[in-house]
Amino acid sequence: MSQARVLVVAEDRVSTRGRVYTTEGVRRVNRVTYELLNRGRDLAGKLGAGVDVVLLGVALDDYTELIQRGADRVLVLSGPAGAVGPTPGQRARLLEQLIREEEPVVVIAAATTTGRTVMPLVAARLKTGLTADCTSLDIDPGDQALLQTRPAIGGNIMATIKTRTRPQMATVRPRSAPPAERDPARQGQVVERQYGEDLLVTPERLVEFIRDVTQEVDLEEADIVVAGGKGLGDRSGFVLVEKLAGVLGAAVGASRDAVELGWAGYPHQVGLSGKTVAPRLYLAVGISGKIQHLAGMQTARTIVAINNDPGAQIFQVADMGIVGDALELVPALIEKIAALKAAKG
């Protein structure tokens, strides 16, 4: 009998030329892949399983780091001439085919925009369960089932879930685990598999790829996030958040209210209906702290809140709180930080 496998779905970025997607773009593996490898190795150790990492589309120049960080095999999937588009349907069908061939016991991916889009399609096609946005994964020592822990009821409780169907699939919140450490002595195998054009035929069609020019720093990968909410009053108030993020080299986040008011685009939204972030520092400005928002940022290492309401819910999760008018405090912060940076040259 072949060894059981834990399958990690790698997260990559595609650099584009202009505004149109091209498979000639250079791919790199995101940090969250190494976090998933940390999870995967832990689960594999408890299951006596091997760890596979799957890459979709254009191959990397070097797979050494993936192997050194925990992969026993790197599975590189492609279509004819290596072309795989960015559409969820194509990626889902490739993953479905691989999972049917390899029969992994556990499949994990990142709870990013890509993971939240592709993995439900894969689970539906396989008629198996999927637990989304997990913060913890473990193995039940009794029946060897995957224990999947995630926020529930708007983040008010943490629920641990078992999936009866197989494979057991989960998406994992970024920054909820450290990246796997490198082990230069580790050895692994790279396996390339090319599938026919018929597998890539889906109803979707890429019309245009429009780069998000509103973010210089990727929200989901940022070490520092400055987020603004309805308490800033209007769009001009939200501009202060953008300026503060600029001097800090931070990503700009927003509450759902701020997005719905048109002060920021949806790619900036943090929360249950937006993105999940876990930076080293999360600075919440004029955000009341509704449970839907807290579910998307409360695992940040340090949370600092600025709000003129001392009873705001955000102060319940903040490590440091400042009660005051953000429209007065934020300009002072910007001035002070800019002066400190100038003094350091």
Q: What is the CATH number of the domain that holds 80?
A: 3.40.50.620
Spell 71-90 as b/e; 16+ CB within 10 A means b: bbbbbbbbbeeeebbbbbbb
Q: Where are the alpha helices (DSSP H) in 106-215?
A: 113-126
Residues 134 and 40 in one domain: yes
In a domain, 205, yes or no: no
End-to-end CA distance of the chain: 63
In a domain, 214, yes or no: no
Residues 182 and 234 in one domain: no
- In the DSSP assignment, the letter for residue 153 is T
Residue with tokens 């002060």: 263
Residues 106 and 12 in one domain: yes
pLDDT at 20: 36
Give the mean pLDDT of 77-93. Answer: 77
Closest CA to 94 of 201, 225, 200: 200
- Indicate which CATH number applies to the domain containing 242: 3.40.50.1220
Q: C-alpha angle with apex 196: 37 to 205, nearest 5 degrees?
A: 85
* Domain end position, chosen among 200, 215, 237: 200
Residues 190 and 231 in one domain: no
In a domain, 31, yes or no: yes
In a domain, 193, yes or no: yes
**129 lies in which domain range?**
5-200
Q: Is 16 exposed, middle or buried (0-12, 13-18, 19+ CB in 10 A)?
A: middle
Distance CA 295, CA 268 (A): 15
Q: What is the pTM of this model?
A: 0.81
- In the DSSP assignment, the letter for residue 176 is S
Q: Report the percentage of the chain scoring pLDDT > 90.
A: 65
Cβ proximity of 326 and 231 under 8 Å: yes
Tell me the pLDDT band of 154, cut-offs 50, 70 and 90. low
Does the structure show a pLDDT above 60 at 82?
no
Distance CA 68, CA 187 (A): 7
In a domain, 297, yes or no: yes
Cβ proximity of 51 and 58 under 8 Å: no
Residues 101 and 37 in one domain: yes
Distance CA 316, CA 305 (A): 10
Give the SS3 label for residue 280: coil
Residues 240 and 174 in one domain: no
* Domain end position, chosen among 144, 165, 200: 200
pLDDT tens readout for residues 11-44: 876 533 333 334 444 467 888 999 999 999 999 9
Give the mean pLDDT of 311-315. Answer: 96
In a domain, 19, yes or no: yes
In a domain, 212, yes or no: no
Residues 194 and 309 in one domain: no
Residues 52 and 152 in one domain: yes
How many structural domains are present in the chain?
2
pLDDT at 58: 62
- What letter represents residue 68's amino acid? Q
Of 99-103, 194-198, 283-287, 327-331, the range with the lowest mean pLDDT is 194-198
Q: Which two tokens stand for residue 189?
A: 């195998």
Distance CA 64, CA 316 (A): 44
Residues 170 and 23 in one domain: yes
Residues 29 and 164 in one domain: yes
In a domain, 177, yes or no: yes
Based on C-alpha coordinates, what's the Rg of the chain?
21
Residues 126 and 171 in one domain: yes
* Domain end position, chosen among 166, 200, 234: 200
Residues 139 and 262 in one domain: no
